[in-house]
Amino acid sequence: MLYIPCPWCGEREELEFHYHDEGHIVRPDVSVGDGEWSSYLYERENVEGWQRDLWSHDAGCRRYFYVLRHSVTDEIGGAYKVGEKLPPLPVEAEREMGS
């Protein structure tokens, strides 16, 4: 079970949340060609490592927000609100130093 830190409600169990997609996917203008449009609709980064997810807290505040999650180790590196300045991705070295 992942523990996800909702920026509004604090840390809760994964079951309360819904994963939507990779974060920060920007919808292009409708005037773009089929290539760019289909890439927006269908292609994903599928990062093997730290990535920014879009989640919503369905069984709580029902807000959307972003989560830093490691796609191989399942670690959670924090969460931030929509519109907030992007926090940097946690890097391996920081984790090893511990806190």
Partner 1 sequence: MSGHFSGLRLAYESLRGHTGWGRQWGSSELGDEYDVVIVGGGGHGLATAYYLASECDVGRIAVLEKGWLGGGNTARNTTIVRSNYLWDKSLALYDHAVKMWEGLSRELNYNVMFSQRGVLHVAHDEGDIRLSRRRCNSIRAAGVDSEWLSPEEVKELVPIINLHGRFPIMGGVFQPRGGVARHDAVAWGYARAASGLGVDIIENCEVTGFDVKRGKVVGLETSRGKVKAKKVGLVVAGHSSRLAELAGFRLPLMMNTLQALVSEPVKPMLSTVVMSNGVHGYMSQSDKGELVIGGGTDLPVSYSRRGGEGWFSSTTASIVELFPCIRRMRVLRMWGGTVDVTKDRSPILGKTPVENLYVNCGWGTGGFKATPGSGHLFAHSISRGEMVEKAAPFGMERFREGCLVDEGAASGVAH
Give the residues lining the site for partner 1 (CB under 8 A). Answer: 1-2, 14-15, 18-20, 22, 34-35, 38-39, 41-48, 51, 53, 69, 71-74
Token pair in block for residue 57 = 């807290």
Helix (H, G, I), strand (E, B) or coil at 6: strand
Shortest distance in whole angstroms from residue 65 CB to Zn ion: 8
CA R_g for the chain: 15
Shortest distance in whole angstroms from residue 45 CB to partner 1: 8
Give 60 or 78: the residue with its C-beta nearer to Zn ion.
60
Residues of this chain that interact with Zn ion (CB under 5 A) are 6, 8-9, 57, 60-61
